[in-house]
Amino acid sequence: MRDYGGALSREGIRPYVDGAEKSRVRYDPASGNLTYYVGRALLPGTHEVRIEAESEAPDKRGRTGGSASKRWTFTVVRR
């Protein structure tokens, strides 16, 4: 995730896995990396990830914040 204005913080990021909001997420604004620790293996099958991000604070240029979202799926297979 990149916020070129610099106003996005972890508090403005809402990650969901299979429709459930997740809280054990780390966000590094310098690299744009968002990391989620599952805790236990996901069951085989298709899973959905959705990220919603919102910044209400003004950026470095004084512009008001904005919002964005991204959704994708992935499949876990049994070996």
At 12-50, the pLDDT tens digits run: 899 999 999 998 888 888 888 889 888 888 999 999 999
Task: Assess if residue 5 is contained within a domain.
Answer: no
Per-residue pLDDT band at 59 (split at 50, 70, 90):
low
Res 57: pLDDT: 64
DSSP states along 18-45: TTEE---EEEETTTTEEEE--SSPPPSE
Residue 46 is assigned to a structural domain of this protein:
yes
Q: Which residue has the higher pLDDT, 62 or 20?
A: 20
Q: What are the distances in angstroms from CA 36 to CA 17, 40, 61?
A: 10, 12, 31
Say if 3 falls within a structural domain: no
Number of domains the chain is built from: 1
User: Are 55 and 65 in contact, with CB atoms under 8 Å apart?
Assistant: yes
Residue 10 has pLDDT above 70, yes or no: yes
4 inside domain: no
State pTM to two decimals: 0.77
Q: The domain containing residue 41 runs over which residues? A: 10-76
Question: Residue 66: inside a domain, yes or no?
Answer: yes
Q: How far apart are CA 55 and CA 9, in angstroms?
A: 7
